[in-house]
Amino acid sequence: MPIIPHTTLEAFGTAMLAAAGLPTDQAQIASHHLVEANLMGHDSHGVIRIPGYCASLIKGDLKAAGNQKVVRESPASLVWDANRTFGIVLCYQAMKEAIARAKKTTFGAVAVHRSGHIGRLGAYPPMAASEDCIGVVLLNGGARFTAPFGGVGRRLPPNPIAISVPVENGEPLMLDITTSVAAGGKVEVARARGKQLPDGWLVDSAGNTVNDPNRFWEDGVAMLPFGGPVGYKGYGLAMMIDAIAGGLSWAGCSSATPTRGGSGYIALAIKIDSFIDPDEFKHETRILVDWVKSSPTLPGVSQIYVPGEIEEEIMHQRVSGGLNIEDETWDALVQNGSALHVEVPTL
């Protein structure tokens, strides 16, 4: 497992994405996003995805941002046909547009269909929090590998949700979760690292636990909803996200053949000042954070974490200590770079 400085990895990623067809400025945005995911501990949404993105760019399945089309618009809202735009870059644009509209109309929302993979959802709502807004992203996206509560069939995507609010004298609260037990990429990471999956993640068509990550791609294997065997709340949330993100984005809700392919998302911003002075709101969220963190802990627990705090802690550790990239992922990056005639960093 090589240990690689994040700056080295980001420059390498930028060069590969640019060589595959993204404009350099967009390649920098995308590579920064992916490396940041690794820095925050979300390796499933990090540089492991670069070879796949490059292959899609070369085939023409993904295009640079700027090709999206407006299909419906109001003062507060916008619907884009992404036209196979590179998803990470476009989602930053969607959140910026949502924030701009919220500042004028209190609520701003941009719904998008036919987009490429948008990466780590948690990167986008904090943009709103930094502008004295509340940020939300809902996605009915990813492969449909999750079973409904009580079922074993692959019917729903992981359908993630991310929310961020500003906090006085601190980093914003940031929740970023899937409504499946885990993101599909975490299964890929486990496979690349040669690890078995925990009980309660995957089941076969008879409801038996599946621990081998290599079986994840079998038709008869599905992931359970968030909560595992008692995941009715995760399943219910997944259904609501699917209805909202799939329906409002024009992508279509989950089915055997969604209307426009599924994987639609909506980026929402809410202007705090329309309800309360932003400083007073942030003071209230600070009270909330301090109150929750004051709780006595269970045996063996050193502290209470609030949403987003673990990611910040991991990032500080990895910025100074470097990123551990599993051999299989690094080998794939090296092969990808060599195929694109990009100089591979010396470690």
Architecture of the domain spanning 70-181+224-294: 2-Layer Sandwich (3.30)
* pTM (two decimals): 0.94
- Classified as helix, coil or strand, 146 is strand
Structure-derived torsion over alpha carbons of residues 325, 93, 265, 257, reported in degrees to the nearest 10: -90
pLDDT tens-place values along the chain, 347 residues long: 789 999 999 999 999 999 999 999 999 999 999 999 999 999 989 999 999 999 999 999 999 999 899 999 999 999 999 999 999 999 999 999 999 999 999 999 999 999 999 999 999 999 999 999 999 999 998 889 999 999 999 999 999 999 999 999 999 999 999 999 999 989 988 998 899 999 999 999 999 999 999 999 888 999 999 999 899 999 999 999 999 999 999 999 999 999 999 999 999 999 999 999 999 999 999 999 999 999 999 999 999 999 999 999 999 999 999 999 999 999 999 999 999 999 999 87
Contact 89, 65 (CB under 8 A): yes
Q: State the Cα–Cα distance between residues 337 and 59, nearest whole angstrom.
A: 16
Place of tokens 């090589």: 2
Q: Residue 339 contacts by C-beta under 8 Å, 6 or more apart in sequence?
A: none
Where exactly does CATH 3.30.1370.60 map onto the chain?
70-181+224-294
Q: What is the length of the chain?
A: 347
Where exactly does CATH 1.10.1530.10 map onto the chain?
1-62+321-347
As to burial, measured by CB atoms within 10 angstroms (0-12 exposed, 13-18 middle, 19+ buried), residue 303 is: exposed
CATH 3.40.50.2300 fits 1-62+321-347, yes or no: no
